[in-house]
Amino acid sequence: MSWIREGELNLLEKISANVLKAGPMPKHVAFIMDGNRRFARRNNMERQEGHMQGFNKLAETLRWCKHLNIQEVTVYAFSIENFKRTKDEVDGLMELAKQKFERLLEERDNLKKHGVCIRVLGDLNMLPLDLQKMIAKAVVTTRAHNKCFLNVCFAYTSRYEITNAVREMAWGVEQSLIKASDVSEALLSECLYSNNSPNPDLLIRTSGEVRLSDFLLWQTSHSCLVFQSVLWPEYSFWNLCEAILQYQLNYKSIQKARDLHREHQALLQLEADRACVAEHLQHHGNGKPADAQRRQEALLHYTACREERVQDFLRALKHKRDSFFNDLCSEAVLA
């Protein structure tokens, strides 16, 4: 089955889509596609068939999202915890992933036509090498597309992602690109695998489970969470509409909470900068008390320097990450 589904919505769906679009729409939706195995069991299918149907549902959901002007979708495809499943099932899932990424590469013209950019979030080093190469190739070929974005979380957990971000910042400190005092909430966000995406507006989990299971814990702290009882392979356009409606009901209060959080964050950054400047002045001021104007100038200077440091570091980090994919990709070509 293909990644991209063509086809229009039917009349009733189109009208409903237009009604929903009159309100605020989520720009980024994240899915925990839960319930494939339960679906298979319930319908007396092989487990692998359930996963297959789950993938088909994803392709269909992407089509609905396109019609609903949702440009970005993030899905939880494979958690690091899933490596604990039976070898049989893990192998099956890896095989399915290989097939699908192979298929994706075959469809590259179509992806280009629709401007689909694919990103894979997670620690690729945990995967078999041939799959790593395939993923790298898919990521590199679609990198420049910018109409819609699909983020696939593979070998991913949120705690691991956060830890990795801390590791990257520590790397920056080791390379003398940044100082430990430059570590902030904004910088940590920039070091996550998801640094190229805005935070999801809406997170949907199917199959009636009511937890996040280590998925985007950092990014969804001000997202609308919707838990639906339908199993993922049975997910319908109407389920998606229901979730969006719930997002719209929540829109104002969540927006308010986001603003509050942003203000608070800016305040914290200012305080941190002030503390650094005060320390600096104390060390280099030869004991003379600094007047208000000098302090203000020093603060501005410090802030500018910090921002420049952080930008340099982020460029270096991006380069490091890009070359990881490029290297894998060129290995794939050679092989």
Partner 1 sequence: MARLYGLLWRLLLILVHVNRVFISWLRVRLRSWKDRLWERAMAALLLPVALAGFPGSDQKRLNHNPDANANPLTGNRTSSRRSRWLSDGRSLEKLPVHIGLLVTEEEPSYTDIANLVVWCMAVGISYVSVYDNHGIFRKNNSRLLEEIVRQQQDLLGIDGSKYSVEFLSNDIDKHQHHVVSCRPTVKVLSPEDGKQSIVQAAQQLCRSVENKERSSKDISVTMLDILLRESKNIPDPELVVKFGPVDSTLGFLPWHIRLTEFISLPSHRNVSYEDLLGALQRYSACQQRLGQ
The residue ranges that bind partner 1 (CB under 8 A) are 18-23, 79-85, 157-160, 162-163, 165-171, 173-174, 179-181, 183-185, 188, 209-214, 217-218, 220-227, 245-246, 248-250, 253-254, 257, 260-261, 264, 268
CB of 258 to partner 1, least distance (A): 9
Rounded distance between C-alpha atoms, residue 47 and residue 66, angstroms: 29
Give the chain's end-to-end CA distance (angstroms, integer): 27
Dihedral over Cα of 226, 194, 71, 62: its sign: negative
CB of 292 to partner 1, least distance (A): 28
Q: Which is nearer to partner 1, 3 or 237 (CB)?
A: 237
145 backbone φψ class: left, alpha, beta (φ>0; ψ -120 to 50): beta
CB of 274 to partner 1, least distance (A): 16
Q: Which is nearer to partner 1, 77 or 165 (CB)?
A: 165
Rounded distance between C-alpha atoms, residue 183 and residue 181, angstroms: 5
CB of 154 to partner 1, least distance (A): 14
Q: Which residue has the tokens 């942003």?
A: 262
Alpha-helical segments (H) within 107-208: 108-114, 129-142, 158-174, 185-191
Q: Which is nearer to partner 1, 60 or 214 (CB)?
A: 214
Q: Which is nearer to partner 1, 213 or 326 (CB)?
A: 213
CB of 260 to partner 1, least distance (A): 7
Q: Which is nearer to partner 1, 165 or 277 (CB)?
A: 165
Cα torsion for 83, 86, 92, 93, to the nearest 10°? -30
